[in-house]
Amino acid sequence: MSVPTQRLGSDRGETLVELLIAIAILGVAGVAILAGMAFSVQASTINRNQAGGGAYLRSAAEAIQKKVDGAGAYSSCGSAVATYTSAASSVISATDVSNGYDIKVLGPVQSWVRVGGVPQWSSCDTNGVQRIKLQLTTPGDATHGSVETMYVVLRQPCDAAGATPCA
């Protein structure tokens, strides 16, 4: 006489192939998440460098104008690049978050003059308006760093003795 047996559930388990496929899918998903996080960190670094660079350029332009205002006149054409670079570099400190930023004044300094009745930027002159070109290099390699450039137009203070713009 046979006794009826009742099956409570399947004895079938997960196969090795199913397990390997599940692990592969989880691995691909993990790599995608880590790559997204790495991209986010790189984008954040680039954005921080560019934002900081813009702020340092504006601060350098203000420091140069303050130097001109304090002296009461433009720097002489021969020493203008060195003098303005020194003033611009005063906003960069090697001990704070600006470590790695490099700022310089690219020569030559130009002046707004009339040549043959046509106003244009020409060689440096201590009368009129001067224009300088600032360049800031942010920290990082070719991928993460950046180079920002800004033209700064300086005005001579009106209270300076013999200042042509005020005459």
0.85 surpassed by pTM: no
Predicted confidence (pLDDT) per residue in 85-133, tens digit: 888 888 876 556 567 788 888 888 888 888 788 888 888 877 778 889 9
Tell me the C-alpha distance between 91 and 105, whole Å: 13
Q: Cis before residue 108, ω within 30 degrees of 0?
A: yes
Predicted confidence (pLDDT) per residue in 68-89, tens digit: 888 877 888 888 888 888 888 8
Q: For the chain, what percentages of helix, strand and coil (3-state, to nearest 5) are there?
A: 40, 20, 35
Predicted confidence (pLDDT) per residue in 4-41, tens digit: 666 665 667 778 899 999 999 999 999 999 999 999 98
- Domain positions in the chain: 16-166
